[in-house]
Structure 1
Amino acid sequence: AAVHAEGGVIFAQLWHVGRVSHHALQPDGGAPVGPSALPALQAKAFIETGPGRGELVQPPVPRALTTLEIEELVGHYAQAARNALDAGFDGVEIHAANGYLVNQFISAHSNLREDEYGGSLDNRLRLLREIVEAVCKVVGPERLGVRFSPLFSGTDQDRVYIGLVEEDPHLTYIEAIKVLEASGIAYVSIAEADWDNAPDLPDTFRQAVRATFSGRIIYAGRYTAERGARLVEAGLADLIAFGRPFIANPDLPQRLFNGWPLNALKAEGLYGGTQAGYVDYPVYTAHQ
């Protein structure tokens, strides 16, 4: 309601982390689930160790989902979408990025299944296709977005959340975007590599995304206002997303518009259970 009172639009991002989880986070204390029984060696799961405290731990070997469980899981996404609309959200975004469950099914590195959800790229895209179709029936395609994180070079061992580098990332994600185009959803959000010295997405990929998808295209990944504006002016993006700068600057749009300096992000506050480093950053005032 507060967002709507300010004339804003708000979507809920629907997650399932799949194998990037831990026994401590499971309701029965069992193993997390994934497309195959392959651990996420380069990822960490955040678990609570006390009130307002936690730590990042290595996820255990997951349990492979059965086909019946996959069918139930698609239903959970549809129910989550209903819950989001009931709560007042304007739409939902399916998180299919950063090495989480949908990304795990898409990737040949984490999906070794031999049924209809594994093997060929078309099969590995089946879960994405089924979730998109199920959620579209609930919210309508105009209220649905999907997020991907295509990486075109090697991974960084120090990353906490990491995507999966495919043998042919261009082909993989253009085919995935074709799934979205067929459903007529509102937007695709592309999360770029965002660590120091990370490679840029190839222009050929950006051009192919534009040629393939008729909805809105969003890019995110350590953008400045100037860099984002160049991408929009080139016709390759419709919107630019900001993450960490928005955490540290609740009034980020006004700061960018007026050229005001930005608050520095306190990385130590990104994980935890209190308001510190989460909702306690100040808005800009003239005396700053």
Structure 2
Amino acid sequence: MALPDKLRFHISTAYDFLFFSYKARNYDSYLKELKEPPLDGRTEPDETIMNWVSLFNEKVSDSIDKLLSLFFDEEAFFGLCTMQEISLSGIPDVSTFMDYISEMPEKEILRRFLYSGYGPRGGQTIPDDLLDRLLRNENELLEFLTKKMSFPSRQKAVLFEFFSDPEGMKVKYQFFLEWFYDEMYKTIEPMIRKKLPIMKKGIEDFLTKEGERGLEKISWYAVGKEGTRQKDITIAVAYSLETERANASLPGKSELLVICGANLLDKLSIEKDPDLLATEIFK
């Protein structure tokens, strides 16, 4: 069965770069999920990733751990919100991604942060005039975060801090990314690069066999049944996601980005209901 015309694949080591950062912060939660339905302990954690997380825990300092908590918290994961820039700009690797972030205006990074998770309540978009007001007026910013954002109070406080000092936010974000690449990711990037085409081939074979229904199985909760027919879908793969997947869809962009973990298809085969709930990077 031919793959839909609206579908394309994008391969980049930058996806894993961000997801490894997230996993470093939230690995215990992932191990807990493996023991719960639908997997119920039938899938073992990847040994390479487990060893890598152990190494990270040995090397991380208090200052780096604080930055990790700001940008890759389980409930807000602001640092993942530049993910769709990788696909939209055709970024092939981490070096290119970090160059891109260095040129990205603080204002645009903050806009991505506001779209984290499910974004503002009611599906509100963030046009330039609103974003400018939030940057200028602390009272309006506080009201917006209180009434429109669904984050826990601690994450709202982090966003307030970021908006109060956009330049400082970007310096911290870039500093963490540079440290993480030099100290943790650079040595495993070649291994990731070799695995990605193999993972891509597995997803391609699955979609060729399953067709439109297969596409809905891996992107169902991102935009709903009809939404998969209204978006240009980009499929990416990330070794570090293991049995999970994530999706991103920015307002005003026609692309739905779906990132599949190395063992996502194993999880789909186990589930009684194959429609897998995904992490939403953007609403």
Q: Which TM bucket (shorter chain)?
A: under 0.3
* TM-score normalized with structure 1 length: 0.25
- Higher Rg of the two aligned structures: 1
Question: Relative contact order: is structure 1 or structure 2 higher (C-alpha 8 Å, sep ≥ 6)?
Answer: 2
Q: Which has the higher helix share?
A: 2
Q: Which has the higher strand share?
A: 1
* TM-score normalized with structure 2 length: 0.26
